[in-house]
Amino acid sequence: MTARWCGLLAVVAVILLIGGSEAAREALLDDYGEFLPHIRLAKDLMDPRRYDSRVRPVMNHSKPTTVSFSMSLYQILSINEKQQNVDLNVWAIQKWNDDFLGWNPYLYGMINTTILPFDAIWLPDTYLYNSVVMNREETERYINVVVTTNYWKGEKGAEVKFMYPALYRTSCLLDIRFFPYDQQACKLTISSWTSSKSDINYVPEYESVNMDNFLPNEEWVVVSFNVKRIEEKFVCCPEPWVLLEAVLVVRRKPLYYIVNLVIPTSVITLVAVTGFFTAASTSSERREKLSLGIDSLLAMSILMMMVSEQMPTSSDFVPLFGIFYLSIIFIIFIGTLFTAFILNVHLQKMYAKPVSPVISYIFFGRVSLFLPTFFSLV
Ligand SMILES: *[C@@H]1O[C@H](CO)[C@@H](O)[C@H](O)[C@H]1NC(C)=O
Ligand SMILES: *[C@@H]1O[C@H](CO)[C@@H](O)[C@H](O)[C@H]1NC(C)=O
């Protein structure tokens, strides 16, 4: 009995299912029993007999595909002096002609533009040559492509517009010689990895990168971001490659470093130097001058540690900031050294010893001759 009921239920379910898919199918059809135009268009364009996404879509295979490239800078995420790389958030647009996609809008309800998934069609293998990240999923986010038929231009095929956001981390040699008043130039080299000039020809759509949506960076000001096209031969192949070089020039805003490093060090140096000039009295020797010098040196080395944490370890040159610190340390060092010397001479009185002949010759015989001239000048 139950088995018969089950059988009946199954038959009803099958009938319902067929009816359901029939109804769904009907919804896709127009009044004449044909597929709706946009569905027909996608089906026809992606018909495997017609389109093969593995093949570069040109009628004449000797002709290169021209890919026009443009970019918008959205944000400078970070510039790492220590690792010598730069993180950028950009929006890229590539445009090219696909000779195999294209349709007559009169046959497809006057549709001029359609959107297709990126993996359904041929894409140029555009790659950022100096990227630090190898995996594409971690840098570029491919979504869809916009396809516009060339019918109205009187040509075959369609124009493909491929827009995607990208987080690029590129290596960039940062020259911190003039830190914190430095200006850096970082180059992004963009081209196809496998196709030479005879296959893909890149052209920059605009001379400079679009900055309309740029979120200002707290530390850096963008001076310029220009794209230029160059041709370069590589060791691998006789054919030249077309490269796009986008050069980002940024200047550091020095306020942070002036407030946090330059002013404190200058104040400490000033205090230390004036401290050395406090007069000694016969009652006490001002031995604190010695500890003042040692303490200032200690403060300097702590501040210097803060700077060196940011700096790349380079032995090729001494950055300006390093020279600044070194000279300040040198001044305090000289001050402390002379204090020790003067204290040494001064403290001889404890042992009731006379001034040593060498010192008495230097100061009473030589330096004293210059002192009147010096003071008359001042
Ligand atoms: C393809 O293009 C090349 C170079 O422009 C030309 O020499 C050749 O005749 C073209 N072939 C056809 C079949 O049009
Ligand atoms: C497609 O372009 C043609 C010519 O510019 C225009 O007449 C037509 O209205 C466009 N179709 C749509 C859906 O916008």
13: which 2 tokens?
A: 């379910």
Taking alpha carbons only, the member of 111, 113, 112, 118 closest to residue 145 is 118
Residue 236 pLDDT greater than 70, yes or no? yes
Residue 378 pLDDT greater than 80, yes or no? no
pLDDT of residue 261: 84
Taking alpha carbons only, the member of 188, 242, 198, 173 closest to residue 61 is 198
pLDDT of residue 35: 85
Residue 36's contacts (CB-CB under 8 Å, 6 or more residues apart) are 28, 29, 30, 109
SS3 for the chain, per residue? CHHHHHHHHHHHHHHHHHHHHHHHHHHHECCCCCECHHHHHHHHHCCCCCCCCCCCCCCCCCCCEEEEEEEEEEEEEEEECCCCEEEEEEEEEEEEEECCCCCCHHHHCCCCEEEEEHHHCCCCCEEECCECCCCHHHCECCCEEEEEECHHHCCCCEEEEEEEEEEEEEECCCCCCCCCCCEEEEEEEEEECCCCCCCEEEEECCCECECCCCCCCCCEEEEEEEEEEEEEECCCCCCEEEEEEEEEEEEECCHHHHHHHHHHHHHHHHHHHHHHCCCCCCCCCCCHHHHHHHHHHHHHHHHHHHHHHHCCCCCCCCCHHHHHHHHHHHHHHHHHHHHHHHHHHHHHHHHCCCCCHHHHHHHHHHHHHHHHHHHHHC
Q: Is the CB of 63 under 6 A from ligand 1?
A: yes
Share the mean pLDDT of the chain.
87
In this structure, which residue's CA is closest to atom 12 in ligand 1?
Answer: 60
pLDDT of residue 257: 87
Taking the CA of 109 as reference, the closest ligand is 2
Residue 65's contacts (CB-CB under 8 Å, 6 or more residues apart) are 56, 57, 58, 96, 97, 124, 199, 200, 201
State in Å, rounded, how far the first CA of the chain is from the last one. 125
In this structure, what is the dihedral angle of CA atoms 227, 233, 236, 242, given to the nearest 10 degrees? Answer: 40
The preferred substitution site among 112, 149, 152 for testing ligand 2, maximizing ligand atoms within 8 Å of CB, is 112
pLDDT bucket at 175, cuts 50 / 70 / 90: confident
Q: Is the CB of 62 under 6 A from ligand 1?
A: yes
Atom of ligand 2 nearest to the CA of 105: 1
Report whether the peptide linkage leading into residue 357 is cis, meaning its omega lies within 30 degrees of zero: no
pLDDT, tens digit, for every residue of 159-172? 999 999 999 999 99
Residue 256 pLDDT greater than 50, yes or no? yes
In this structure, which residue's CA is closest to atom 7 in ligand 1?
Answer: 62
From residue 342, alpha-carbon distances to 213, 279, 296, 337, 367 in Å are 64, 12, 19, 9, 15
Stretch among 31-40, 239-248, 253-262, 313-322 having the lowest mean pLDDT: 313-322
Q: Is the CB of 105 under 6 A from ligand 2?
A: yes
Contact 276, 265 (CB under 8 A): no
Stretch among 32-41, 95-104, 160-169 having the lowest mean pLDDT: 32-41
Q: Is the CB of 59 under 6 A from ligand 1?
A: no
Ligand 2 center from residue 72 Cα (angstroms): 29
Ligand 2 center from residue 244 Cα (angstroms): 34
pLDDT, tens digit, for every residue of 287-323? 788 888 888 889 888 888 887 777 777 777 788 888 8
Q: Hey, what amino acid is at 145?
A: V
pLDDT of residue 26: 60
Residue 71 pLDDT greater than 50, yes or no? yes
pTM of the predicted model over 0.95: no
101: which 2 tokens?
A: 């996609």
Taking alpha carbons only, the member of 222, 225, 210 closest to residue 252 is 222
Please report where in the chains the tokens 């990240």 appear, as a residue.
133
Taking alpha carbons only, the member of 262, 363, 257, 354 closest to residue 310 is 257
Residue 1 pLDDT greater than 50, yes or no? no
